[in-house]
Every structure is written in structure tokens, then in C-alpha cells.
Amino acid sequence: MKAVQIVELSGPREALRVTDVPEPKAEHPATPGRGVVVEVKAAGVSFPELLQTRGQYQVKPELPFVPGSEVGGVVRSAPDGAGVKAGDRVAAFCMLGGWAEVAVAPEFFAFKLPDELDFAQGAGLVLNYHTAYFSLTTRGRLARGETVLVHGAAGGVGTATLQIARGLGARTIAVVSSEEKERVAREAGAEEVLRSDGPWKDQAKELSGGGVDVVVDPVGGDRFTDSLRSLREGGRVVVVGFTGGSIPEVRVNRLLLNNTEVIGAGWGAYVMSKPDVNREIGQAIDRLTAEGSIRPVVGARFPLEAAADALELLEGRGATGKVVLEVS
């Protein structure tokens, strides 16, 4: 089958090779002897793959390997007792191996793709939307009527967080860096959009009548202290990622003075050993999709052979929504 491999750790342009490899067996390392085999129609592109081309991601498979954490496609085979069967359209999180014509996912990470969504949207459903739901609810304890501020709001996690927050009855404030991203954030459900290079902290406090309840932060870096300052009493900053490049440090006296919290949200590590939690999140995502709240934003599509271009778009801060490789 055709696939893209990472063959060396020299960054997106040099590290990737389009090649022919044997099809995978019907088993996944997370579920030895069992696995859902998917004929891949579209594969998601995300930050971990960019880091993997430089050996900077926490998971460091032996070279060469096929990257690609998630796909939209059609089930070729599934073990007895799996929630999906041959012929089903699915959104599947395979962790690795997605940038190929055939991929394998653990059954607890293979979800029937709602009729409302196409394969490219399916390739952007699991990582971003499950993370967003987990960050807002399980970790952020979001309540209906609360105000959520979302950094990197036009990105993959950002657009997912806006859609889910709206679907859960929250008010939404987006922070973005450009006019084009402002448009994307509004389409994803932002009621207010602020610029990351402007006085967003003061504007957010004013718009929310004294401070926001939850900040979802996939960006990190310098803006973190202002995120804490933008909270109302009892507010929570949920730490999701560090696309801004640096990992912020917190002076914890700020938390004490204002009775606020900083909460980590590591979706993959949390749900990996909890099939029931995955099913519950999957059901919530289905419900929000049926209600019309969830519609993954596919900002760019590339052929599989142009995976390097897709990674460079992410790296150059040019991506909006989900970047997708069209496989077949």
C-alpha cells in the first residue's frame, strides 16, 4: 500500500518519504491481537507529527515509521464486540500509521462517523473534539452560562473548543492573531473575537463583566499570566498545549490571591486505559453533532504525497481548523 514514512529526524521537508509498505495486520499495539482495520479516505495532520519529524515528540518510534494519529475512512474488518463493523464509515484514532491507505485503530478509538460529516471532517474529529470536550467538561468543569476564553481559537483544538463550548451553553470569547483567523473563529461560534497582539485581557474582563470562568489554552508562552489575570473568582485556566513555543511558569501567589486554578488537560494519557470514558465522550460528540453544534472546520487539504507542505503550513502558523491529507 502507499504510505508516507518518517525516515530521518531532519524536519518536515527532508524527513518524509512517500513509499510502498506492506499492509498492517489486524491488531494494534494498544489492544494486542485485536484492532479495527480502516481503509483510509482522509488522514489528519497535527502538531505531534511535526514534532515527530524532528524526534521532539514524547513518543519516539523506531525509524522508519508511518506517522498519522487519526483518520476518516471505512472499516474493512473489526473484532467481535467492537462498536463498529465492516463497511461502517468511521473516525478513528490510530496514534501512528494513519498516513497510509490502510490503518489500524484500537476498537475503543473507532467511532461511527455521523452522517452529517464527511471523511475529511472525520479525520479531524477524535483528537481535537475529544480533547476539547475533555478539557471543557472533565477538567474545566464548565457549567451552562459560563464564559470561556479560547486561545489559538482558529486552530484545530480552538475551533473544536468554540463549537463544543457553544453547544454546552457557554458564552465564547476567541483570541486570534489575524483577520482571516478572526473570520474562522466567528464561523466556529465565537461571540466575541479579540486579537492576541492587543489588550485582550482587559477586553475579556470587560466583555465578561469582571472576568471569564474558563480559559482553554493550547498556546502557552508569554500570554499565560494575562490568562490568569483575565479570570473571575473561581475561574480556571485549562492547559492544553504549547504551540507558542515556551512552557509558562506560574507564580502561585496569583492563584491564592484570586481563588483561581490552573488545570492540566492531557486527553490521550487520561483516556487510553478507560474505554468507558471514550465511549461516553463519543456519545457526547454524537449528540452535539446531531444537534448541529459540531462541524469540524477543514481549513486545508493536501494529497498524501504533499504531507511536507501540510506540516509546513502548521509550523508557519498558517493553518486554520484541521489540516487533512486526502488519501483515496
Q: Tell me which residues touch ligand NAP (CB under 6 A).
A: 46-48, 127, 131, 152, 154-158, 176-177, 181, 196, 218-219, 240-245, 265-268, 314, 317, 319
Closest to ligand NAP by CB, 65 vs 270, is 270
C-beta separation of 187 from 298 below 8 A: no
Closest to ligand NAP by CB, 213 vs 217, is 217
Closest to ligand NAP by CB, 35 vs 244, is 244
Residue closest to ligand NAP (Cβ): 155
Closest to ligand NAP by CB, 158 vs 282, is 158
Give backbone dihedrals phi and psi of 56, rounded to 5 degrees, phi first: -105, 5
Closest to ligand NAP by CB, 105 vs 319, is 319
Q: In the bound complex, what is the minimum distance in angstroms from residue 22's beta carbon to ligand NAP?
A: 30
Q: In the bound complex, what is the minimum distance in angstroms from residue 1's beta carbon to ligand NAP?
A: 26
DSSP H helices in the chain:
12-15, 47-52, 119-122, 131-133, 156-167, 179-187, 200-207, 224-229, 253-258, 267-271, 275-290, 307-315
Q: In the bound complex, what is the minimum distance in angstroms from residue 154's beta carbon to ligand NAP?
A: 5
CA 146 to chain centre: 22
Q: In the bound complex, what is the minimum distance in angstroms from residue 317's beta carbon to ligand NAP?
A: 4
* Cα–Cα distance list, 54 to 6, 23, 78, 304 (Å): 9, 25, 34, 20
Beta bridge partners of 194: 175
Q: In the bound complex, what is the minimum distance in angstroms from residue 210's beta carbon to ligand NAP?
A: 25
Cα separation, 182 vs 59, whole angstroms: 33
